[in-house]
Structure 1
Amino acid sequence: MKKSSTGLLLGSALVVGLSGCASSASQSSGQGSGNSASDRAWYQHPAVCGLAGGLIGGGIGYATSSSSDEEAGVAVGGTAGATIGGLLCADNEPEPEVEECPSYEGEIPAGVAKDAEGCPLDSDGDGVPDFRDECPGTPSGVEVDSKGCPLDSDGDGVPDFKDQCPDTPAGEEVNALGCPESLVLRDVNFEFDSAQLTQQAESILDEVAERLVANEGVRVSIEGHTDAVGSAEYNQDLSQRRAESVVDYLESQGVDSDRMRARGYGEEQPIASNETDEGRAENRRVELDEWTD
């Protein structure tokens, strides 16, 4: 058989064979859910098609070249065939267009300021765009409602991230701390017969401090109380030192010192009987209240 005839047959094989692979690959891509390479048969992979194209193209180059330039013909034909084969089997499915800010589609008023991606500005980063945000300037990390306002779970008018008493019953009047009365700081205890806070007490005060830092401008009174064991003079001094210890710790956690005062009341204001262990334990306490005078 002549070289020209061989080249014609090989060329036809290249067109028919690779076109068939490409057609199958296209159909598989259209039917597959993910349009991924794993959905294809092995013979539809661009590398396999490229290898086949290279072999066929090299054969065409050999068959159509003269005896003096067979090697060049094989090289050129192989390169061209590999390129054509790889392109025919490549997945040319266009990437789906990603809508810009789909959650705001059709709802963005004219003239609303947008960022570089074309989305409405959200200056405080709370997930609610400025044009909807009724509480701009929410501190970072604070959970908000659909209007962009900090959550107020008990509905007392003091948002949760500032509320020292987050479970106030509905309808009760509260102070700026979100509490209806002085808040007993449960489990804020001290080492025996000293003003040294326990580790558990410090852990509790960390949460108190976090809310106080957020509740800017509100002043607080830290009030220490003891039981009736020992002299009244000694208990007065101990309660004052314990109140001051709490103030010092809160200051170390970022609460401004000029927003706090320490008051020791000794054994003067018991809330339970000093005749029992349980009552005395209740009387040894630290309270947090709004400082208004």
Structure 2
Amino acid sequence: MKKSTTGLLLGSALVVGLSGCASSASQSSGMGDSASSDRAWYQHPAICGLAGGLIGGGIGYSVTNDDDETDGAAVGGTIGATAGALLCAEPNKTPATPAPKDTDGDGVIDANDQCPGTPAGVAVDAVGCPLDSDADGVPDYQDQCPGTPAGAEVNALGCEADLVLRDVNFEFDSATLTMGAEGILDGVADKLRANQNVRVRIEGHTDSVGSDSYNKDLSQRRADSVADYLASQGVDRNRMRTIGYGESQPVATNDTDAGRAQNRRVELGEWE
């Protein structure tokens, strides 16, 4: 057989054989670390390099003149060994960069979060702290009086004074809350649950229609009814104190319907 024909056959063997090793090695590497550690013996770079060297040396020997056979074999062997080792080498694996942690899930990563541990669902600012829209020191999710004027001194509820629970009304001549009143108290309860460190006073007031003793009893029952509803919504009853003042603390005249309506009220304040 002519040397050129021999070189062609060996060259084909080199391409086919090393391509097969490289393909197998690449597939094994793609299957993960455990698969990579179980690679077949013939996929090892050293084996591929040895095979490449032998085949490359044969090619070099076959395609050179008789006077240069030794040099041709050496050069071919070096090139074949290098090519075989590179083809079967494992690709470089760049470690995956871990995703930044956001432990409280507020959208601000821990490294930048100045208020870690924000409760789930609470709106935060750029540094991860709960929003305080009126800047009164009580965050919005705990503030019973949002929109307090700038610079105003507030209590732990975020209010300048006791909060009149507007539209918290009762059935006629009773302590039964209306459905509308319950909806308003749901919002109050949400913020009280979020503000566990505050205790509250719940005060009942009436107009002057009826006897003093009757009105005092009715106002107490209404204050208790509010506290009971808040407790049913998860506010600890021990955090609430109820007081019925009857008609003794009017905020408007009792001579008009509008005035009497203002006097029939329930107030929420901080219990210090």
TM-score range, shorter chain: 0.5 to 0.7
Counterpart residue type for residue 255 of structure 1: V
1:129: which partner in 2? 109
2:208: which partner in 1? 228
Q: Find the residue that maps to 2:110 and give its secondary structure.
A: coil
Verify: 1:153 aligned to 2:133, yes or no: yes
Instruction: Name the TM-score, length of structure 1 as normaliser.
Output: 0.60
Q: Write the mapping of 1:101-116 to structure 2, written as runs, cut at 5 A.
A: none
Q: Could you give the per-residue CA deviations for residues 216-263 of structure 1, whole angstroms, max 9, x where no partner exists?
A: 110000000000000000000000000000000000000001100111
Q: Find the residue that maps to 2:202 and give its secondary structure.
A: strand
1:261: which partner in 2? 241
Mapped to 1, the partners of 2:162 and 2:153 lie a distance apart of 13
2:228: which partner in 1? 248
Identical aligned residues as a percent: 71
1:184: which partner in 2? 164
Q: Find the residue that maps to 2:180 and give its secondary structure.
A: helix
Structure 1 portions without partners, runs of 5+? 1-115
Mapped to 1, the partners of 2:138 and 2:214 lie a distance apart of 38
Shift of 1:120: 1.1
1:162: which partner in 2? 142
Q: Find the residue that maps to 1:161 and give its secondary structure.
A: helix
Shift of 1:276: 0.3
Counterpart residue type for residue 264 of structure 1: G
Mapped to 1, the partners of 2:249 and 2:177 lie a distance apart of 22
Structure 2 residue aligned with 1:215, among 195, 205, 209? Answer: 195
Mapped to 1, the partners of 2:226 and 2:113 lie a distance apart of 38
Shift of 1:270: 0.3
Instruction: Name the TM-score, length of structure 2 as normaliser.
Output: 0.64
Mapped to 2, the partners of 1:222 and 1:117 lie a distance apart of 54
Mapped to 2, the partners of 1:277 and 1:229 lie a distance apart of 11
Shift of 1:119: 1.3
Mapped to 2, the partners of 1:283 and 1:209 lie a distance apart of 24
Mapped to 2, the partners of 1:193 and 1:117 lie a distance apart of 68
Aligned residues: 177
The structure-2 alpha-carbon separation of the partners of 1:281 and 1:140, relative to structure 1 and needing over 3 Å to count, comes to: same
Q: Find the residue that maps to 1:233 and give its secondary structure.
A: helix
1:120: which partner in 2? 100
Shift of 1:118: 1.6
Verify: 1:205 aligned to 2:185, yes or no: yes
Verify: 1:278 aligned to 2:258, yes or no: yes
Shift of 1:117: 7.0
**Which structure has the bigger radius of gyration?**
2
Mapped to 1, the partners of 2:187 and 2:167 lie a distance apart of 13
Mapped to 2, the partners of 1:266 and 1:119 lie a distance apart of 61
